[in-house]
Amino acid sequence: MTATPEYSRPVEILPASWTQVAGRISVALGASAAFAAAGALGGVGMVQWVLAAVVAAFGVWLAVWDFREHRLPNAIVFPLYGVVGAALAVLGAFTGDWGRVGLAVAGGVILWCVYFGLGLAGAVGFGDVKLAGALGAWLAWFGLPILIPATILAYLLALPHTLVILARRRGGRVPFGPYMIAGALIAGIASTV
């Protein structure tokens, strides 16, 4: 009997115990406290930059995972929803502009629906669909029109990778999550400058 190489063993991504669930909830609560402190100390602009940094941190984690495993685990994507939601609540509280928070939530739903349609067509995986809602809510805080350039950027950034796979003439999939994250970060950071 041969040993299974370490890299080919399945990776546990779902919480195995209540301790892990509590840890993920703690991350969301800690992020909420950080956003509240950033808002109190530096105002709305600081909360926006802290949120961009958190999205970037989650994005790096998800990008590495997606390149390696060709999937985006719920255990990373779902806490991102909590963090984005907490930040939107803090932004709403500091600005008093709850309509803008509603538009941000609507943006998350819109981008999720667009990617759901792409998922049904086989153009993206359903991990990408899950990620789209969180990224869309964050981006839509800056306005619903930003969803269009962020989505176009994701496809433009993925194009070279796609062309390499096509040139090799081998069946392969492009992990699209990293490009979604990069496109969202470029569009989101450009809108805060």
Q: Is the pLDDT of residue 20 over 80?
A: no
Are 98 and 92 in contact, with CB atoms under 8 Å apart? Answer: yes
DSSP string, 9-66: SPPP-S--SHHHHHHHHHHHHHHHHHHHHHHHHHHHHHHHHHHHHHHHHHHHHHHHHH
Handedness of CA 16, 18, 23, 29 (dihedral sign): positive
Provide the pLDDT for residue 22: 54
Output phi, psi for 116, to 5 deg. -65, -45
Tell how far CA 117 is from the center of its chain. 18
Closest by CA position to 113, among listed 140, 128, 133: 133
**Residue 79, pLDDT above cutoff 80:** yes
Q: Give the model's pLDDT for residue 9.
A: 45
Determine the straight-line distance between the first and last CA of the chain, rounded to whole angstroms.
59
What is the C-alpha separation between 174 and 168, in angstroms, rounded? 13
> What tokens appear for 170 in the block?
């081998």
6: confidence class by pLDDT, cuts 50, 70, 90: very low
pLDDT band at residue 52 using 50, 70 and 90 as cut-offs: confident
* Residue carrying the six token digits 């392969």: 172
What pLDDT, on the 0 to 100 scale, is given for residue 118?
93
Q: Average model confidence (pLDDT) for the chain?
A: 82
* Residue 33: partners with Cβ closer than 8 Å, 6 or more residues away: none
Distance between CA atoms of 59 and 178, rounded to whole angstroms? 7
Report pLDDT digits (tens) over 118-159. 999 988 999 999 999 999 999 999 999 999 999 999 999 999
Q: Phi and psi for 150 in degrees, rounded to 5?
A: -65, -40
Does 83 or 35 have the greater pLDDT score? 83
